[in-house]
Chain A
C-alpha cells in the first residue's frame, strides 16, 4: 500500500459511490476514464478496496463467531433426541405412562365430569415441536425466524412475525397451523380456533390431522364437548383416538 499517496475524503467518497453503484452515468464514465489514464489513482482505488474488504471480512468473522456461539448454545439447550436406542425406551415408557393416565383419567372422568375437560386437555396438550429451522429452498426467512422464536417459547415474537407474513399469504396452511398452535400454547383458545379451522378447510394439507387434533383440544378446553368429539373423530392421530375413547366412555 502506498505510504505517500494520501487518500482524500473526496476520493474515499467517490470510490464508495463507484462501488455502491450510485454514480450517475456521466460520473461513472468519467471516473472509469481517469482510472484508465491515471496510474496513481488506480493504485489509490485498489488500496481503498483492500481496506474496505478488510473491514468487511473482519466484521464477518466477528459475526460468524456470534452465529457459532448461538448455535452451540441452542444445541446445549435442546437435548438431541435422535439417539434411536434411547428414543425407543423413552417412547415405550411414554406409552406406558400415557396408558395408565388414560385409565386414571377415565375413572376420574366418570366421577367428576366438569373439571376433567381441563385436566384432559392438560394431559394431552403438548406444544407442537415445530419445523426444523434449516434453510430450505424457499426464502421465507421471517417464517423460519419466527420458528426460532417459537421453539424458544417466545410466542409473542413468533406471532408477530407470522401474522405479518399472513397478510401476504392468507391461505397458507403452514402459517395458519402454526399461528393457531402458538395461540393454543399461550392458552388462548378463542384466537387459536379460527386459524386451525382454516387449515381444516384444506383437505390435502399435511397439517390436516394435527389441526383437527388441536382443534379438538381447543374445544375440549372450552367445554365444547360436541365439537371436540367431532374434531377428534376426524383426526386419525393416535392421541386423538385415545382421547376420544376417554370422552365416549
Chain B
C-alpha cells in the first residue's frame, strides 16, 4: 500500500469511528501539541482542552468529507494546524476582554462573513444542546445509543450485550431517541 493510500484508509476508518485508529491518532499526536501550547503560555489542562476540541473538529470535518489527504502525513499535520489555530484564537479572545482596540478590530474583520458563521454556529449550538441532553438520559439509553450510533454495533450484537431480544433492542433505541429529543426541546 502506498503511504497516500494508507492515509485514505485511515480516513475511512475514522469515518467509521474505529476505536483503535482514533486512539492511536489521539495518543500519538498529543505530545507535540502539548509542547506547543506549553511553550506559548498555556497550561496542561488548557493543552488538553484545546487538543480535544481540535480532535473533534478534525473528526467532524473528515465525516463531512471536508478533508482529503494530499500527502502521507496530511492528517497528522492537519490536526496539529487546527490545534494551533484554536490556541491562537484562545489567546486572542482572552486578550480581547482586556483590550478595546483589539476588540473593535475583531468586529471589523468578522463583518464580511457574519452570515455563514452564524448559520454554522447555530448548528454547532444545537449539537452542543443534544450533547448535554445525552449526558442526562439514563445510563442504559446512553450505552445503547452510543453503541449503535458511535460504535456502529449491530442491533443483534447490542441485544446480546443487554441480554434482550433484537426486537426489544430496536424499540428501546427508538424510545431512547424520543427521550433525548424531548430533553433537547425542553432545554431549548
- Give Cα distance in the complex from A145 to B27, angstroms: 12
Whether A60 and B22, one on each chain, are in contact in the complex, defined by CB atoms closer than 8 angstroms, is yes
In the bound complex, what is the Cα–Cα distance between A3 and B185 (angstroms)? 6
**B: which residues have CB within 8 A of A?**
1, 3, 6-7, 9-10, 13, 17, 19-30, 48, 52, 55-56, 59-60, 72-73, 76, 123, 126-131, 133-135, 145-146, 149-151, 171, 174, 177-178, 180-181, 184-185, 188
Residue of A nearest to B184 (CB): A1
Interface contact A60-B181, CB-CB below 8 Å: no
A57 to B129, CA, bound (A): 11
Given A7-B177, A57-B127, A64-B52: A139 and B146 interface contact (C-beta under 8 Å): no
Taking beta carbons and an 8 Å cutoff, which residues of A are in contact with B? 1-3, 7, 9, 12, 47-48, 50-64, 67-68, 70-71, 133-135, 137-139, 141, 144-145
A151 CB, min distance to chain B CBs, angstroms:
13
B177 & A67 in contact (Cβ 8 Å cutoff): no
Please report the C-alpha to C-alpha distance between residue A70 and residue B30 in the assembled complex, in whole angstroms: 12
- Find the residue from A9, A12, A53, A70 having the highest chain B CB count within 10 A: A53
CB A53 to nearest CB in B, in angstroms, measures 5
| Smallest CB separation, A123 vs chain B (Å) | 35
Instruction: Tell me if B134 and A67 are in contact (CB < 8 A).
Output: no
Q: Number of contacts between A and B (CB, 8 Å)?
A: 117
Say yes or no: B188 contacts A1, CB within 8 Å: yes
Give the residues in chain B near A133, CB-CB below 8 Å.
Answer: 24, 28
Contact B150 A55, beta carbon cutoff 8 Å? yes
**Complex CA–CA separation, A12 to B72 (angstroms):** 39
Question: What chain A residues lie within 8 Å of B126 (beta carbons)?
Answer: 1, 50
Residues of B within 8 A of A50 (CB): 123, 126-127, 130, 184
Contacts of A47 in B (CB 8 A): 181
Q: Which of B9, B52, B149, B184 contacts A61 (CB 8 A)?
A: B52
> In the complex, A176 Cα to B90 Cα: how many Å?
48
Beta-carbon contact of A54 and B22 below 8 Å: no
Q: Are A139 and B9 in contact (CB under 8 A)?
A: yes
B62: min CB distance to chain A, Å: 12
**Nearest Cβ on chain B to A19's Cβ, whole angstroms:** 10
Known: A60-B17, A63-B19. A55 touches B180 (CB 8 A): yes
What are 19 residue pairs bridging A and B, where the CB atoms are less than 8 Å apart in the complex?
A51-B177, A54-B128, A56-B149, A57-B131, A58-B131, A58-B146, A60-B22, A60-B55, A62-B146, A64-B26, A64-B55, A67-B22, A70-B27, A71-B26, A71-B27, A137-B3, A137-B7, A137-B72, A144-B24
Residues of chain A with a CB closer than 8 A to B130's CB: 50-51, 53-55, 58
Alpha-carbon separation in the docked complex, A96 to B11 (Å): 50
Q: Complex formed: what's the CA distance from A189 to B19 in Å?
A: 35
Chain A, interface SS category: helix
Q: With A12-B177, A64-B55, A71-B30 known to touch, is A55 a contact of B17 (CB < 8 Å)?
A: no
A184 to B25, CA, bound (A): 31
A56–B25 Cα distance when bound, in Å, is: 17
A141 engages B20 (CB within 8 Å): yes
A138, B127: Cβ atoms closer than 8 Å: no
Candidates A3, A51, A63, A134; contact of B28 at CB < 8 Å: A134
Taken together as a complex, chains A and B put the C-alpha atoms of A145 and B129 apart, in Å, by 36
Cβ-closest 9 pairs across A and B: A54-B130, A59-B150, A137-B72, A134-B28, A137-B3, A139-B6, A59-B146, A135-B28, A67-B26
- Kindly report which residue of chain A lies nearest to residue B149, judged by CB atoms: A55
Shortest distance between the CB of A16 and any CB in chain B (Å):
9
Q: How far is the CA of A70 from the CA of B127 in the complex (A)?
A: 28
Q: Chain B residues near A70: list those with CB within 8 A.
A: 23, 27
Q: Is the CB of B145 within 8 A of A135?
A: no
- Residue contact B185 to A1, C-beta cutoff 8 Å: yes
Cβ-defined contact, B181 with A7, below 8 A: yes
Least CB separation from A20: chain B residue: B152
Using Cβ atoms and an 8 Å threshold, which residues of chain A touch B23? Answer: 63, 67, 70
